[in-house]
Structure 1
Amino acid sequence: MNLLFSNDKRGDYPQSWYAASADLLAPFAPLGGVQRADVCVVGGGYTGLSAALHLAEAGLDVVLLEAHRVGFGASGRNGGQLGSGQRLDQLKLEKMLGAEDARRMWEFGEEAKALVRGLVERHGIDCHLRDGVGWAGSSAGSVAELHDYAAHMDARYGYGLEVLDREAFAALCRSPDFQGGVLDMGAAHLHPLRLALGLAEACVRAGVRIYERSHVHHIQHGSKVVVQTDAGRVEADHLILGCNGYLGGLDRKVAARVMPINNFIVATEPLGDRAAEVLTRDVALCDDRFVVNYWKLSDDKRLLFGGGESYGYRFPSDIRAVVRKPLAQIYPHLADVKLEYAWGGTLAITMKRLPHLARVAPNVLSASGYSGHGVGNAVQAGKLMAEAVRGQASGFDAFAALPTPAFPGGAGLRTPLLALAMSWFALRDKLGL
């Protein structure tokens, strides 16, 4: 079974609020016959689109292959949070990498946010970009940790986080579930599919040849890489893999370190005046649970709420019921609200929750495993791979040096082992441990 085709209609976007509220592009033709390129990019999400755009703007001839539609995968389905730093906070990175390398990772994170903001401005991408992402603490202990972290970030990095006690957080987030938190106004939130479509349009203007409904099923390595689809092939000097959770069997070494998981989002009916019962500022939030919940208000005042995970190939039969549970815990007063849209998506995680960038062959690069931090990480990874193709690999090499061990259990056991571990942490969340 292939995750590319397990839960979605071939060649079509999911029935999400994102797809319903975006100006979708006319379909690009599938690949046919033989195409020649300097670089072939596989994957039409943030990683591949960013790589293709930066390569084409540097004067290279680029072909991009997408199995469905550009922005079809996690890039067009996620919570839309452009977070600061990396997926792991700076305290964890300092412990794992040491102070100097942790600071470099922080700087990369700041550069990633600036890159996304710059692309949005330079290419006029209307993706509802707004400042502000907050972290919510559901216990006194977690709030204390968040406030201590804010103090650390101010003292060590000169980066200000807005510290919110219980009263201040309740004024922001109309939920009885939290006891305080922090707000990062240097982070941002956006409409993820609109960002992907805007990057695709920029690619076309730069000369990238995009082919949709072009599933890659075989790669022949060599001094020239041959990338094979059902109806054609691309012969290129370089290959970039930007497949993330949909990599499948295209590279087994990468797949051993990158685990696909599924996450789910709902969009309520427009709330109108009741939007003030959700948030009083136009920011996005996430909580402190191991299985993270995240939410924001859309431009038309819907609550977009993400929660729940599954492991394996198939989405649950009733996504609304899966997400309704954590939504009701955080906003019990919205129990009567209609959930007009519900969709799932496949992302990818690594053991250390750090992105996995790898040179899998002398002329083949891969980036994936953004672990829920992909809006900034993936766009940046694409740019870093474009630079590496052109011989400027310092940024790529810095990420490639991060620890990304293989999952235990191999391909056969890693999914059930992860499911057991995640179920245990979900139980701890439920018990408040």
Structure 2
Amino acid sequence: MLKINKPIILEDVEYRPSIHNKLDKEWSWLNPKCADIEQAANYYESSLNEWHCFDALSTDQECDVVVIGGGLLGASTALHLSELGIDTILVEKNRIGSAASGRNGGQLTPGLARWEAAEMLDHMSVEDAKKLWRFTANEAMDLIDEISDKYGLALDRKQGHITAAVHEGHLIALTQGADARKFLGEDHTKIVGQHEVHNYVNSEAYHGGLIDYLGGQIHPLALTRGLIYGFNQNGGQVFEQTEVIELKTQADGIYVKTAQGVIKARKSVVLAVHHASFKLLESHNHTTIPLFTYVCTTSPLEIDLKELIPADYAVYDTQFALDFYRGVSKNRLLFGGEGTGSCWNEHKAYQYLLGRIHHVFPQLKSVDLDFVWSGETDLTYNGATDCRKFGEKYPIYAVQGWSGHGVAQTVRIGKAIAHDFIGVSHDYEMLTKIPHKDILFGRELAPFAIPLAKSAYEINAFFNPAKLISF
């Protein structure tokens, strides 16, 4: 059996070509001052050692479970299935972590996408809300640390997260959110005002914030590759450059058809591919709408990062189209934000992110961006992640709708799928009971619907600036 190396985080970046296939809507830009590379790796890929490329499927295969998608959900599900001794094959149409799982902000936040404690209490009984919050908060964070310890992974894992209030009225909503968390039995928060927030973020842009000691940050591509490393150590098989084009359930299993061959899943299939589920499951409702976000890392800053983020916590703010940022290697600032229905080009994203950095930290007189990249996430109507289970004899699992808040929870849901498959837990069943509305023509209308939603918000914010609404 092929054995691969652990992902290793470098002291600083190595400018090199990406091993990921180039996609129009998930691009990566490298400053020509750094190197002249046509298809350059983004910051995350550049800050890791060169890693294994798995072969494409070349012959028909057979196993118990096929996992489709090599992001965090697919990797976590495959890992946990392999730990239970279940014969599992994972296929990925590009490379491991090439999509959102290896392109996000790396922030660890409690909750189920945009469902936080207060939203859970609004929609569920107190006992059910307690269980769901514990699942998406304490259990999700603890699981990442357990996996890291078990497989000896270095993931640049740091504790502490800040939600920074851009309006003093937003502190009311943040305080209510902290109160809801305490009511559900989790007390890892602290509200700070306009002066004390400077102990955490040295910016005049904020009126205070919520300090979250449970949340934190991580290297998301290292985490994704680390999960695959564990899966490989347990005997799991991975095929990259292998796109699934059809699923067909027959009397003896589910046949997973790819361009190169067919894999027979004797017992189950897991769709860890976001909106691609629509193409593979004709009966699946269209419950998500795409959203494009943009991330950059600066060149090493002229000011020590501790002068900007003294506690070294990850930060995101309370704008509708929020800013998020954190310090990374060699005194660089990783900064991201915005949310658009159609994908911006490199120049527009560069100018936007550089402008936001200057807005938050005007004390940075000279800033240059070494890396800029785009990423695609998906939103649900109610803000909660959409978890589905189809079929009786041969179940098919499908999850989507992360809304940009799902690194830790994605890993935890992967474990829940594995435990549901062997019938030892009802955690995944709990997630499937959350109702979701179909978004008619949502994916087609996103380029028009999202700008309209922003305009409506801006009008509402003008008359009611203290109301907190965010992506």
Question: What TM-score comes out, normalization by structure 1 length?
Answer: 0.92
Aligned residues of 2:302 and 2:366 also touching (Cα < 8 A): no
Select which of 295, 319, 322 maps to 1:265.
Answer: 295
1:5 and 1:40, CA in 2 relative to 1: closer, same or farther beyond 3 A? same
User: Which structure shows the higher helix fraction?
Assistant: 1
Matched, 1:350 2:350: no
Deviation at residue 423 of structure 1 after TM alignment: 4.3
Matched, 1:399 2:431: yes
Deviation at residue 130 of structure 1 after TM alignment: 0.5
Matched, 1:93 2:123: no
Deviation at residue 414 of structure 1 after TM alignment: 5.4
Aligned residues of 1:267 and 1:340 also touching (Cα < 8 A): yes
Deviation at residue 424 of structure 1 after TM alignment: 3.1
Matched, 1:128 2:156: yes
Cα distance in structure 2, aligned partners of 1:432 and 1:300 = 41
Aligned residues of 1:247 and 1:255 also touching (Cα < 8 A): no
Aligned residues of 1:355 and 1:377 also touching (Cα < 8 A): no
Select which of 236, 239, 261 maps to 1:208.
Answer: 236
Select which of 122, 130, 133 maps to 1:103.
Answer: 130
1:227 corresponds in structure 2 to 256
Structure 1: stretches of 5+ with no match in the other structure: none
Matched, 1:47 2:73: yes
Matched, 1:387 2:405: no
Q: Deviations over 1:162-205 (max 9, x none)?
A: 22111110232111110101111111211111111111111111
1:426 and 1:379, CA in 2 relative to 1: closer, same or farther beyond 3 A? farther
Select which of 187, 208, 211 maps to 1:159.
Answer: 187
1:287 corresponds in structure 2 to 317
Cα distance in structure 2, aligned partners of 1:297 and 1:34 = 46
Aligned residues of 1:289 and 1:429 also touching (Cα < 8 A): no
Q: Deviations over 1:183-240 (max 9, x none)?
A: 1111121111111111111111111100011111222223411112211221112110
Aligned residues of 1:166 and 1:179 also touching (Cα < 8 A): yes
Spell out the pairing of 1:180-191 with structure 2 (5 A cutoff): 180-191=208-219
Cα distance in structure 2, aligned partners of 1:225 and 1:102 = 35
Aligned residues of 1:32 and 1:233 also touching (Cα < 8 A): no
Spell out the pairing of 1:74-89 with structure 2 (5 A cutoff): 74-86=100-112, 87-89=114-116
Matched, 1:140 2:168: yes
1:152 and 1:407, CA in 2 relative to 1: closer, same or farther beyond 3 A? same
1:369 and 1:158, CA in 2 relative to 1: closer, same or farther beyond 3 A? closer
Structure 1 counterpart SS, 2:230: helix
Aligned residues of 1:268 and 1:341 also touching (Cα < 8 A): yes
Counterpart code for 1:51: T
2:326 corresponds in structure 1 to 296
Structure 2: stretches of 5+ with no match in the other structure: 1-20, 29-37, 466-471
1:148 and 1:386, CA in 2 relative to 1: closer, same or farther beyond 3 A? closer
2:9 corresponds in structure 1 to none
Counterpart code for 2:212: D
2:142 corresponds in structure 1 to 114
Cα distance in structure 1, aligned partners of 2:421 and 2:22 = 27
Select which of 206, 210, 222 maps to 1:194.
Answer: 222
Q: What is the aligned-residue RMSD (CA, Å)?
A: 2.5
Cα distance in structure 1, aligned partners of 2:306 and 2:49 = 28
1:275 corresponds in structure 2 to 305
Structure 1 counterpart SS, 2:387: strand
Structure 2 counterpart SS, 1:91: helix
1:21 and 1:260, CA in 2 relative to 1: closer, same or farther beyond 3 A? same
Counterpart code for 2:419: E
Matched residue pairs, number? 429
Structure 1 counterpart SS, 2:143: helix
Cα distance in structure 1, aligned partners of 2:250 and 2:74 = 21
1:6 corresponds in structure 2 to 24
Deviation at residue 260 of structure 1 after TM alignment: 2.4
Q: Deviations over 1:134-189 (max 9, x none)?
A: 11001111123323433443355251312211111023211111010111111121
Matched, 1:416 2:448: yes
